[in-house]
A and B are shown apart, each in its own frame.
Chain A
Amino acid sequence: MTAGAALARLRAVPPSVAIAALVALLLVLSAAGAPLLAPFDPTDIRTFNLADSEIPPLFAADGDPRFLLGTDNQGRDMLSAILYGARVSIAIGSAAVTTAMLIGVTLGLVAGYSGGRIDAAIMRVGDVILSFPTILLALLVAGLARALLPGADSARLAPFVLVGAIAVHDWVQYARTVRAATMVESAKDYVKAARVIGLPSARILLRHILPNVAGPVLVIATIHLAGAVLTEATLSFLGVGMPPTYPSLGTLIRIGNEFVFSGIWWIATLPALTLVILVLAVNVVGDWLRDRFNPKLRGRR
């Protein structure tokens, strides 16, 4: 694509999508730069001071200029907690999407290319998994991990458990899409030619078929990112995700939820607002990408 064509494409982006993309980018960047941007380290208990607890945000009455968005029940700076929390949420969401994508694309390629029993086995497993809602399966995986692994709820292991819990459901859609596309591509002449000249299957799959089925995969990944961040937040909110010592946005909302009744609204509301804005921005971009680059997927959801 020439530079001119790229510019023309950019101009075709509706303003709402451009704003959403900008917001998403801004959130991701500030979350990634949390250690540089945040005034405090919310994971370091020594920086908390109980005397500073439950201070409202600056824009409300009785705010404290040291704490722009107020503090939580332990005197933790909310702005820092939200920045770090968004970092954890985005990192786990992206890791879950990547894991699901790698598993799904691999199994989809194998199923579509080899066909027969391998194909049937992979797809039946997928059918069974899809007959359960994401959140139920994720809760089961998280619950089992807690029972099996000591310290599964620790800050070190919990992210891996969460990634597994989300990816166990999400790979199926990649596998289905890639399988269908692989079957179509496999029947084409260039693949037949590659086979005739004796290229190994792995090379045919990775170098010849994969680039031709990658488009829809990236669209699904964007839409799944929003879902993965939501699932992580839900698990953390339910108490089977990130521990309070290393909170994600969901954990912060869980902590704040206990104080909602006493009128201390900011501990739950501010992380919740961040979460909704993040997911909404990603969803807007994802929806647009789906309609723009993959008319086949339009309206199927």
Chain B
Amino acid sequence: MIAVLASRLVQGLLVMLTVTALAFLMFRFVGDPVQTMSREDATPQEKAELRASLGLDLPVPLQYARFVARVVQGDLGISYRNQRPVARLIAERLPATMELVLAATLLALAFGIPLGVLAALRPDGVVARSVQALSLIGISTPTFVTGIALILVFAVGLKLVPSFGRGEVVALGWWSTGYLTASGLKSLVLPAITLSLFQLTLIMRLVRSEMIDVLSTDYIRFARARGLPRAYVHYRLALRNALMPVITVTGLQIGQLIAFAIVTETVFQWPGMGLLFIQAVGFSDIPVMSAYLLFVGALFVALNTLVDLVYVLVDPRLRTSLA
């Protein structure tokens, strides 16, 4: 287990190293920030001053070292587009994305696990068959199509919920939450469903196949033969073991969800990091793009490591091999 963790950490470091290098290369060589930031009629002297003030006249390795040093201190540069510190922009947008991702994950777990169990317990039943068919449609429908369909039906047609934005938010220190107001919760419904569908499909399929595997093991057959109550066998004995991989996948999928949130946030004009990123791509706002990349990279590495740790806590076999 220690070896696995160590190799995870090494791989994580490798990822972060690649990501910082990529972020720096983007920062340094893509587009000319001076051109983007200065007025059209700026004199060469003004441009040179700007260049020097950005540190772009130094040798490249030195620029990279300065870049890494600044990133480690949390200084991610200044957005070309609105001339504000990128770290602050991301901090402002972070709560919106995180609340969306959290809601989507909870939805996916709340529906995915029961449906998967049901499909495993009655593999030839109506539920199982329709679940299989629906999940195939689910993975074939792009997020933005689901989002547009939901908007058409529930926002434009039935006028039940708003179709864009985050509603009213309440500030809790630097964190702004939409969980505490009625309009915030209403606004959350459609984006959260849209974002959760892909993950729901995945969790459902996973729980189903894991349950089927576990149900055919000897200890379950023995428990049944001994006449233990069905519910006890299915939920206490089988489901617990079937849920192991679900932890891993859910954890790893949170990273995917943050990336997929780019699409959901665009459809619903949800003011999160994804919308910030896509606007940056459209404007070639390199500092924001590279900061987002760094942030997501760090998050991925953290999640991967965390998932491995949780695994050790949950699976007693791994714990004993550690001791």
Kindly list chain A residues whose C-beta atoms are within 8 Å of the C-beta of B136: 280, 283-284, 287
Quick one: which of A131, A253, A299 contacts B148, CB cutoff 8 A?
A: A253
CB-based contact A139/B145 at 8 Å? no
Kindly list chain B residues whose C-beta atoms are within 8 Å of the C-beta of A293: none
CB-based contact B151/A260 at 8 Å? yes
Q: Does A276 contact B (CB under 8 A)?
A: yes
Known: A144-B26, A146-B281, A280-B137. A131 touches B300 (CB 8 A): yes
Q: Which residue of A lies closest to B257 (CB)?
A: A133
Quick one: which of A136, A226, A234 contacts B144, CB cutoff 8 A?
A: A234
Most chain B beta carbons < 10 A, residue from A142, A144, A230, A268: A144
Known: A139-B277, A147-B31, A148-B30. A133 touches B148 (CB 8 A): no
CB-based contact B281/A139 at 8 Å? yes
**Number of interface residues, chain A, beta carbon within 8 A:** 42
In the complex, A96 Cα to B69 Cα: how many Å?
38
Binds B, one of A4-12, A61-69, A237-245: A237-245
Kindly list chain B residues whose C-beta atoms are within 8 Å of the C-beta of A128: 11, 14-15, 18
For the complex formed, measure the closest distance between the CB of A242 and the CB atoms of chain B, giving whole angstroms: 15
B139-187 CB contacts (< 8 Å) to partner A: 139-145, 148-149, 151-152, 156, 163
Kindly list chain A residues whose C-beta atoms are within 8 Å of the C-beta of B145: 253, 272, 275-276
In the complex, A295 Cα to B228 Cα: how many Å?
35
Q: Does A233 contact B (CB under 8 A)?
A: yes
For the complex formed, measure the closest distance between the CB of B307 and the CB atoms of chain A, giving whole angstroms: 13
In the complex, A29 Cα to B140 Cα: how many Å?
20
In the complex, A36 Cα to B214 Cα: how many Å?
55
Question: Interface readout for A248-291 with B: 1 if CB under 8 Å, 0 if not?
Answer: 00000100010011010100110010011001100110010000
For the complex formed, measure the closest distance between the CB of A170 and the CB atoms of chain B, giving whole angstroms: 16
Q: Does A143 contact B (CB under 8 A)?
A: yes
For the complex formed, measure the closest distance between the CB of A73 and the CB atoms of chain B, giving whole angstroms: 16
Q: How many A-B residue pairs have CB under 8 A?
A: 112
Q: Does B50 contact A (CB under 8 A)?
A: no
Q: Which residue of B lies closest to A287 (CB)?
A: B136
Kindly list chain B residues whose C-beta atoms are within 8 Å of the C-beta of A269: 148-149, 152
A122-156 CB contacts (< 8 Å) to partner B: 124, 127-128, 131-133, 135-136, 139-140, 142-144, 146-148
Known: A234-B263, A239-B282, A265-B152. A279 touches B140 (CB 8 A): yes
CB-based contact A299/B209 at 8 Å? yes
Q: Does B63 contact A (CB under 8 A)?
A: no
Q: Does B38 contact A (CB under 8 A)?
A: no
Most chain A beta carbons < 10 A, residue from B30, B163, B280: B30
Q: Does B191 contact A (CB under 8 A)?
A: no
Q: Which residue of A lies closest to B144 (CB)?
A: A237
Known: A135-B263, A143-B289, A147-B286. A257 touches B277 (CB 8 A): no
In the complex, A253 Cα to B152 Cα: how many Å?
13
CB-based contact A133/B259 at 8 Å? yes
Known: A128-B18, A131-B15. A139 touches B262 (CB 8 A): yes
B120-152 CB contacts (< 8 Å) to partner A: 136-137, 139-145, 148-149, 151-152
Quick one: which of A127, A240, A261, A268 contacts B282, CB cutoff 8 A?
A: A240
Kindly list chain B residues whose C-beta atoms are within 8 Å of the C-beta of A279: 140-142
CB-based contact B156/A261 at 8 Å? yes
Question: Interface readout for B266-279 with A: 1 if CB under 8 Å, 0 if not?
Answer: 11000000000110
For the complex formed, measure the closest distance between the CB of A36 and the CB atoms of chain B, giving whole angstroms: 28
Q: Does B246 contact A (CB under 8 A)?
A: no
CB-based contact A260/B284 at 8 Å? no
B1-33 CB contacts (< 8 Å) to partner A: 11, 14-15, 18, 26, 30-31
B280-323 CB contacts (< 8 Å) to partner A: 280-282, 284, 286, 289, 293, 296-297, 300-301, 304
For the complex formed, measure the closest distance between the CB of A247 and the CB atoms of chain B, giving whole angstroms: 15
Q: Does B260 contact A (CB under 8 A)?
A: yes
CB-based contact B141/A276 at 8 Å? yes
Known: A127-B11, A144-B30. A136 touches B140 (CB 8 A): no
CB-based contact B296/A233 at 8 Å? no
Quick one: which of A131, A142, A280 contacts B281, CB cutoff 8 A?
A: A142
Q: Which residue of A lies closest to B286 (CB)?
A: A147
Q: Does B255 contact A (CB under 8 A)?
A: yes
CB-based contact A133/B255 at 8 Å? yes
CB-based contact B263/A237 at 8 Å? yes
CB-based contact B140/A276 at 8 Å? yes
Kindly list chain B residues whose C-beta atoms are within 8 Å of the C-beta of A124: 14
Known: A133-B255, A133-B260, A280-B137. A253 touches B11 (CB 8 A): no
In the complex, A5 Cα to B31 Cα: how many Å?
60
Q: Which residue of A lies closest to B31 (CB)?
A: A147
CB-based contact B139/A136 at 8 Å? no
Known: A139-B278, A147-B31, A272-B148. A238 touches B262 (CB 8 A): yes
Most chain A beta carbons < 10 A, residue from B266, B286, B301: B266
A/B interface sample: 27 pairs, CB < 8 A: A127-B14, A128-B11, A131-B11, A131-B304, A133-B255, A135-B262, A135-B263, A140-B289, A142-B281, A143-B280, A143-B289, A147-B284, A148-B31, A233-B144, A234-B142, A234-B144, A238-B263, A240-B281, A253-B145, A253-B148, A257-B144, A257-B267, A261-B156, A261-B163, A263-B156, A272-B149, A276-B141
10 new A-B contacts, CB < 8 A, other than A127-B14, A131-B15, A279-B142, are A133-B256, A136-B296, A142-B281, A146-B281, A147-B31, A148-B31, A234-B144, A257-B144, A260-B156, A272-B148
Instruction: Give the top 6 A-B pairs by smallest Cβ distance, nearest first.
Output: A143-B281, A280-B140, A133-B259, A147-B284, A136-B259, A279-B140
